Chains A and B, each alone.
Chain A
Amino acid sequence: MNQIDTDALLEKIKAETGCQPEVYQDITDEDALCIPVENLEAVIGVLRKDFGCYHLSGITAQQRESQPGKIELIYHFWHGKGVSLLLRLPADDPKVASIIALLPGADFYEREAAEMYGITFTGREETPRLLLPDEWDQGPPFLKREASDG
């Protein structure tokens, strides 16, 4: 399987979407791009169409101590080698476009992130809960909140 050339990917994304992705180098041995939230669908489109990278391995949601007030989403793609896309959402209103129309396989990953971190994925149907019990009312269980929130 041909691995993706990061420079070519960067160029292509710039040309197609007009956004300026940053190369994110903290992930060991893996290509990662930090992209603006609104360009997610376009970048995934580029990845799929121009680079044949169809496999999304998962979506990680996390809060980083160095980035207070942000929730981070990492889309782990794989094409012979890992390619990750990093998004930073504001913690008070985490919203991002759903990609299940592009990649139906992202469905469960999005639902998990939505339930565990309270992220809203826009543009998809309201679905019943996947993991949390129906009677759960204490908010997203994995989300770290300020002590004053209880």
Chain B
Amino acid sequence: MDKISIPIGPHHPLLKEPLSMRIDIAGERVLGGTLRMGYVHRGIEKMTAQRTYVQDVHLIERICGICSHVHTTTFCLGVEKLLGIDVPPRAQYIRALMCELERVHSHLLWLGILSKHVGLETVFMHTWHDRELALDIMEGISGGRVSHAANQIGGVRFDLSPEQEVMVKENIGKLKAQVSGVLGVIENEPALRARTQGVAPVSADLIRDYCVVGPVARASGVDVDLRRDDPWPPYDQLDVNVITRPEGDAWARTLIRALETRESLRLCEVLLRQMPEGPVTVRAPRKVPEGEVVTRSEAPRGEVLYYLRSDGSDKPARLKVRTPTLAVLSLLPEQLSKIHVADIPVVLAGIDLCIACADR
């Protein structure tokens, strides 16, 4: 059969953010593809060097529209390390609570997108309805649904009132019930299984070669989670269950993310239970002493890396951000061979693309 090349993107119903792929197909078989990004490259790494650290926190929040909080957390962790200040424990716990809520909302969003791609629009609507609960919690405590502006260098900008804690607990209880329903669908829905099981399986060796991180790596049996393996406070005081699956196919990735959502909700409850009293912020100087620091943390999509070099002024000399999507995307050309055209959405969804993150 003749080879034809179909363009996917920069605008395509499959993509929520601009990305361009050219996929070579013969009939319904995919032969391979090439990738092109940069449509939402905003030069944020460069822009941070022109702004003060205080301003940068807000700029960095805009790197990602889903996992905005974990980016600022990682950045603040780095700056605080250079400054040598200790963040009050209550602030650490609030940060972690937001991180986990963000993971819940990111994973639910993703589950919805996957179901939409396989034609299960009902599950898409239901998961996004549930995700709204997670957004409500975050809006209730921070005032922002997606950009929370929770972090500042030296702590967080708000405290949790007792009423808010009650609200968070209530909504988490509701979310738990909803997530078990979604889990039931993923485990039992035959058509969903037929569409995802055995699709584009990736071996653990390939994951290691391509330096893949996050749920995709864990779905191939690579047991790595920075919350446990390289914890930042307060995760060193928490007992994170890392979930892995040996299959490495699209279904394993789906299941992993659903199970991680449940685990995150459990962590939220633990965090609320153990939340210490005290201040939520300490004063941080404007100028950061000379030095370099590398911080890593576990975003919903995997390891995010920040490299920060300060030259002693109030502006960073170099900030490098490596987002998890970039690491996982490198696996895409490898996966886009020997699959069906109908599997392209499943493979793409399995990666959990966040193009704005990858482009910066």
Contact = CB atoms under 8 A, between A and B. Distances in A.
B23 to A, nearest CB: 15
Nearest to A82: B294
B292 A28 contact: yes
A76 to B, nearest CB: 6
Interface in A79-132: 80-82, 84, 103-109, 112, 128-132
Contact of A76 (B81, B294, B326): B294
The residue among B41, B213, B293, B307 with the most chain A CB atoms within 10 A of its own CB is B307
A55 B224 CA distance: 11
The residue among A1, A55, A80 with the most chain B CB atoms within 10 A of its own CB is A55
A118 to B, nearest CB: 14
Contact of A27 (B35, B292, B317, B318): B292
Interface in B301-360: 303, 305, 307, 309, 311, 317-318, 320, 322, 326-327, 329-330, 334, 359
A62 B296 CA distance: 19
B291 A26 contact: yes
B4 interface: no
A78 interface: yes
Contacts of A74: 307
A37 B210 CA distance: 23
B294 A27 contact: yes
A56 interface: yes
SS class, residues of chain B in contact with chain A: mixed
Contact of A130 (B36, B213, B230, B292): B36
A60 to B, nearest CB: 4
Given A62-B318, A62-B320, A130-B38, A103 B294 contact: no
B8 to A, nearest CB: 16
Given A27-B294, A55-B208, A133 B322 contact: no
23 contacts: A28-B292, A30-B294, A54-B208, A57-B211, A57-B305, A57-B327, A58-B327, A60-B320, A62-B317, A62-B320, A64-B309, A78-B303, A104-B330, A105-B210, A105-B211, A105-B327, A130-B35, A130-B38, A131-B37, A131-B38, A131-B359, A132-B41, A133-B38
Given A106-B211, A108-B326, 19 more contacts: A28-B291, A28-B293, A30-B293, A30-B294, A55-B224, A57-B296, A57-B327, A58-B326, A65-B311, A74-B307, A76-B322, A78-B230, A104-B209, A104-B210, A108-B327, A108-B330, A129-B36, A130-B35, A131-B37
Interface of A: 1, 26-30, 54-58, 60, 62, 64-65, 74, 76, 78, 80-82, 84, 103-109, 112, 128-133, 141-142
